[in-house]
Amino acid sequence: MARSLGRAGATSRCSSRKTVTGRAMVTAYWLCVCVLVPACVKAGLYTSSDQVLLLSPDNVHTLLVNSSAAMVVEFYASWCGHCIAFSPVYKKLARDIKEWKPAVNLAALDCAAEENRKICIDYKIRGYPTVKFFHAYSKADAVGQEFKGVSRDVRDLRHKIIDKLETHSEPWPPACPPLEPTSQAEIDHFFETNSVHHLALIFEDFSSYIGREVTLDLLQFENIAVRRVLKTEDALVTKLGVTEFPSCYLYYPGGNFTKLHVQIEARTFYALALQKLPGVVRSGRPPAVPGDDLKNSTDESWKPFNSSRVYMADLESTLYYSLYVEVAAHTVISGEALTALKKYISVLSKHFPGRPVVMNLLKSVNSWLQSQTADQISYDALEDILDNTAQMPNAALPDDTKWVGCQGSQPHLRRYPCGLWTLFHVLTVQAKNSTASDPLEVLDAMKRYIHIFFGCRQCAEHFGNMVDSLVEVKTLSSAILWLWAKHNRVNNRIAGALSEDPQFPKIQWPSPEMCSACHTVTDNGEHRWNTEEVLAFLLTYFSSSRILTDYLESDRQMLEKQKDRNARYQRDLEAEKHVERKTREASDPGAHPLLSQPNEQEEEEEGEEEGEEEEEEEEEDEAVADGYEDGGEAAPAALSEMKGKPEPTPWIHPESLVGRSRRKAHRRPSIVGMRPRGQQEDIVDLDSFVNQHYKARAVELASSNRVKRRMLQRQKELEPQPVFRLGMELDAALGMVGLQPMEEDFDMDVRQRQEEGRSYRGSWISVLSIGFSKLDISLCVILYLLSFFFLLSMYLYFKKRLRLRRAKTTLT
Ligand SMILES: Cc1cc2nc3c(=O)[nH]c(=O)nc-3n(C[C@H](O)[C@H](O)[C@H](O)COP(=O)(O)OP(=O)(O)OC[C@H]3O[C@@H](n4cnc5c(N)ncnc54)[C@H](O)[C@@H]3O)c2cc1C
Ligand SMILES: *[C@@H]1O[C@H](CO)[C@@H](O)[C@H](O)[C@H]1NC(C)=O
Ligand SMILES: *[C@@H]1O[C@H](CO)[C@@H](O)[C@H](O)[C@H]1NC(C)=O
Ligand SMILES: *[C@@H]1O[C@H](CO)[C@@H](O)[C@H](O)[C@H]1NC(C)=O
C-alpha cells in the first residue's frame, strides 16, 4: 500500500505540470524531477515514445555495428540550446519516416551524460548537435558520415537521408528496395521476376524525391512494388500518355495500366492510396478479408456497422468497462486516484451525451462522489451506487460490453481502448457545444483517468509523455484539436504493431476519403492538415446528434436487469446466511445461547463479514500495487498469469480480462449464483470460497475498526490451518491481553450500532468473532465456560475443605 502510494505520488509530479509554462522551465523542471524521482525515466531529450532509438553504452555497438539497416544518429548534449530546439524536428522526422525503419533507422545519444562521454569521443563528436549516417553493415571502427549543416527542415533531412542511402555500394541494406529510376526494359520483364500484384510507377523530374520516398513508405507492405520513372524515359511516358509530373500509374502484366487517382499529386497521397489497394497488406500480417468473414474469428456474432459513424453502444460499453472493471481494480480509492475519479465522473455527468436513464445514474454517482468528504472511498461503496441498490427510479448502466463500431476482428483487438478514445473525443466536442467554462476540463480528467486507471500501463506512460503540451490548450476548440493530434500521433507510432487490427489499419485520421478538405499541401508539396476543416469535421463526426443508437438495449430491459440483479443478490445473501447458520447449528447444537435470536444474528453476521472483507481488500490492494510495479504494462489482474511468459505483444489487451477484476463477483460466495457479467475466470476464487465474503454496506463503520482488525487478522494468518486446534485455543486464551484493544472497538461498535437501533448482544458477538470463525468462537465460549465451572468447583472444593479444616481445628 505504502509502496503504491509512493509510486503514485512520484508519478503525479511528472504529470501535473501544466501549470509550469515555458519550455526552459519545463526542461529544468524535468531535469529536477528526473533527478529526484527515478520513477519517471526520461533519457535526455527523447523518450521511448519518440520512435528514436535511445543509445547507451550497452546498446551502441549492437545497434551501430553490422546493423542490417542504415542508421542516422544524432549526437547531442541535453544542455545545448540548439539541441533542444532541434529535438522537435528530429522527432517529427522520426514520425515522418517511420515506415522506412527496416532500411534506415533513427537513433540519438546524449553526450552530456557521463556514461556516454567516451562513446562521443570515439565517434569524434566535437559539436552538438551532430547528425551522422552509418551505412548498413558498418564496421566496428566506422565513425559515420556527418550531415553537413543540420537542417531544421524535415523534408530537407529526408532528402539527405535518401542521398546517403544511395551512396551504399554493396552490401545494400536488404530491406531497402531499389531506389534508382526504372526503364522500359526493366518494366517489360518485371512480372517475370516479381510476384507482386501491383506495380506503381511514379513519373517525375530528375530532382524530385517523391518516387523514392513513396518507395520507402511502402517497403513494409506486401504485394506492391514502387519504381520511379524519369520524365526523360520517353518510351514509357509516351506509352502511358503521361503529361503530368509527378503522377502515379498502376501497371499490370500484359501492359495494362491505370492512373492512380489522388486528391493531390504528392507523396503522402500516393502512399495512402497505394497502401489501400486490394491485396496490399503490411508484411507479416494476415491478408485482409472482407468484413463478413470477420464473424468467424470472434465468439460473438458480428454486428454490421458503418465505420464512419459513432455508436452509443461503444460509449456505454466504455462506461461499463471503465467503471466496473478498471476502477474496480482499485479496492480503496484515495488521494490522487480519488481526485481522478471525481473529475472523470464529473465530466461524464456534465458532458456525456447519454440517454436519460444513463445520465440519471451518472448524475447520482457524481453527486454521491462529490459529497464524499473522507479522504478515501471503497470501491464497494461506489459499486452500490453504480448498481443503484438504493433503487432510484429510471437510472441504470448497461451490465456488459457490446462493441459495435469498436468491434475487432479478434477478441483481443480494438474494443475498450477504441471506446475510450471515442468517448474522450465525444466529450471534448460536447464540452465545446455546451460552452463549458474550462477548456481543459475534459482533457485534464482524461489525463488523470489514463494516468491512474487505464489498464494499459505502457499506453498510459506514452500518453503521459504527451500531456506536456496541454499548456498550449487555451480554448475548447483547441482541446478538440489537441486530442485529435495526439491520437494521430499514437496511430503513427503503433501502425503495424501487434495491437493493430489488420482489418482496421492505423491511419492518419480522417483519411482523404472521409474528409478531403482536411488534407492539403504546403508550397513545397509537404502534406499539411487544414485544421479549420479538421475541427469542423470533428464537430460533426462526434456530435451527439449523429451518434447512432443501433444495438442498444432498451431502457426497460436495462432497468429490469438491474432490478433482477439486485433482487438476486439479496436472495443470494439470504440463502448464504441460511446455509451458514445451518452449518453452525449442526456443528454446535444448542450450546450457543445467542443462536436463538436468528434475526439479530443475521444482521450482525453481515456486519462482521464486512470487516473481513475490508481486510482482504487491503491486502489485495497491495498485491495490485506490486503488480503494477513489476508488471509495468499489463493490467494488474493478468499479472499472475503473465509472469514468466515472454511478452508476445506490446500490451495485453484489457478486454481479455473482463470479469477477472470484477472483484465483487468473485468475492461473492461461489456456491450461490454469481451475477452473469462477463466471464468468471477468477484467479482467486479459492480465497473467496474460504473467506465467504459479502457486500460491504457500512464501510465507514468497518474502516474505523480496520487497524485493530488487521492485528487480529495477522494472528489468524499465523495459524497453520483453519482447522481447530487446541494449541490455538490456548493462544486465544493467552491472547486475552491481545484482545484487549477490542474493547474500544467494541464501544464504538456499540455506540454506532445502537444509533442504528441494533442490539448490543449481537454486536458483542460480531466483535468477538472478527478474525475467528464461528467454530472458534463457540469452542472458545465452551472452554471458557468449562474453565469457569472448573474454577468454581475448585473454589467450592477448597472452600469446603477449608471450612472442614477450620471445623476440625475448632473441634480439636
Ligand atoms: C490514451 C491511449 C493511449 C494509447 N497508447 C497506446 C500505445 O502506446 N500502444 C498501443 O499499442 N496502443 C495504445 N493505445 C491503444 C490504441 O491507440 C488503440 O486504441 C487500439 O489499438 C485500438 O485501435 P482502433 O483501431 O480501434 O482505433 P483507435 O485508435 O482506438 O481509434 C478509435 C476510433 O477513433 C477514430 N479515430 C482514429 N484516429 C483518430 C483521431 N486522430 N482523432 C479522432 N478520432 C480518431 C476512428 O474512427 C477509430 O476507429 C492507446 C489508447 C489510448 C486510449
Ligand atoms: C554481420 O552480420 C552478418 C549477418 O547479418 C553476418 O553474416 C556477419 O558475420 C556479421 N559480421 C560481423 C563482423 O559480425
Ligand atoms: C465463416 O462462417 C460461415 C458460416 O457461418 C462460412 O460460410 C464461411 O465460409 C466462414 N468463413 C471463413 C473464412 O471461415
Ligand atoms: C455511413 O455513414 C456515412 C456518413 O453518414 C454515409 O455517407 C454512408 O452512406 C454510410 N454508409 C453506409 C454503408 O451506410
Which is higher by pLDDT, 310 or 6? Answer: 310
Strands 104-110 and 70-76: parallel
Q: Which of 423-427, 435-439, 723-727 has the highest mean pLDDT?
A: 423-427
Cβ of 68 less than 6 Å from ligand 2: yes
For the CA of 307, the closest atom of ligand 4 is 1
Which of 292, 293, 410 for mutating ligand 3's site (highest number of atoms within 8 Å of CB)?
293
Residue 548 CA, ligand 4 centroid: distance in Å: 11
Residue 136 CA, ligand 2 centroid: distance in Å: 11
How much is the average pLDDT of 15-34?
38
Residue 580 CA, ligand 1 centroid: distance in Å: 49
Task: Please tell me the predicted confidence (pLDDT) of residue 785.
Answer: 79
For the CA of 546, the closest atom of ligand 4 is 5
Ligand minimally distant from the alpha carbon of residue 515: 4
How much is the average pLDDT of 179-196?
90
Task: Please tell me the predicted confidence (pLDDT) of residue 97.
Answer: 96
587 pLDDT band (50/70/90 cuts)? confident
Residue 66 CA, ligand 2 centroid: distance in Å: 6
Which is higher by pLDDT, 788 or 771? Answer: 788
Q: How far apart are CA 455 and CA 451, in angstroms?
A: 9
Quick check: 222 and 232 in contact, CB under 8 A?
Answer: no
Atom 1 of ligand 2, residue of closest alpha carbon? 66
Question: Which residues approach ligand 1 with their CB closer than 6 A?
Answer: 406, 414, 417-418, 420-422, 425, 450, 456, 458-459, 462-463, 484, 487-488, 490-491, 494, 497, 499, 501, 504, 509, 650-651
Atom 3 of ligand 2, residue of closest alpha carbon? 66
Task: Please tell me the predicted confidence (pLDDT) of residue 468.
Answer: 87
Condensed to tens digits (0 to 9), the pLDDT of residues 702-746 reads: 443 443 333 334 444 444 443 333 333 333 333 333 333 333 333
Condensed to tens digits (0 to 9), the pLDDT of residues 76-99 reads: 999 999 999 999 999 999 999 999
Ligand minimally distant from the alpha carbon of residue 513: 4
Cβ of 309 less than 6 Å from ligand 4: yes
Cβ of 306 less than 6 Å from ligand 4: yes
Residue 287 has pLDDT above 50, yes or no: yes
Which is higher by pLDDT, 385 or 599? Answer: 385
Which of 307, 308, 513 for mutating ligand 4's site (highest number of atoms within 8 Å of CB)?
308
| DSSP annotation of 548 | B
Residue 102 CA, ligand 2 centroid: distance in Å: 17
Ligand minimally distant from the alpha carbon of residue 302: 3
CA distances from 57 to 38, 113, 117, 702 (A): 20, 11, 9, 54
Residue 38 has pLDDT above 90, yes or no: no
Which is higher by pLDDT, 626 or 756? Answer: 756
Which is higher by pLDDT, 230 or 783? Answer: 230
For the CA of 68, the closest atom of ligand 2 is 5
809 pLDDT band (50/70/90 cuts)? low
CA distances from 691 to 108, 330, 613, 662 (A): 54, 20, 8, 17
Least confident of 85-99, 106-120, 573-587: 573-587
Q: How many CB atoms lie within 10 A of CB 610?
A: 24
309 pLDDT band (50/70/90 cuts)? very high
Q: Which of 240-249, 561-570, 649-658, 698-707 has the highest mean pLDDT?
A: 240-249
Task: Please tell me the predicted confidence (pLDDT) of residue 808.
Answer: 61
Task: Please tell me the predicted confidence (pLDDT) of residue 650.
Answer: 41
Q: How far apart are CA 109 and CA 73, in angstroms?
A: 7
Q: How far apart are CA 534 and CA 528, in angstroms?
A: 11
This prediction's pTM: 0.71
Nearest to 359 by CA among 546, 550, 558, 655: 558
Cβ of 308 less than 6 Å from ligand 4: yes
Q: Which of 249-253, 292-296, 657-661 has the highest mean pLDDT?
A: 249-253
Residue 198 has pLDDT above 90, yes or no: yes
Question: Which residues approach ligand 3 with their CB closer than 6 A?
Answer: 293, 296
Residues marked as catalytic? 80, 83
Percent of the chain with pLDDT over 90: 54
Residue 660 has pLDDT above 50, yes or no: no
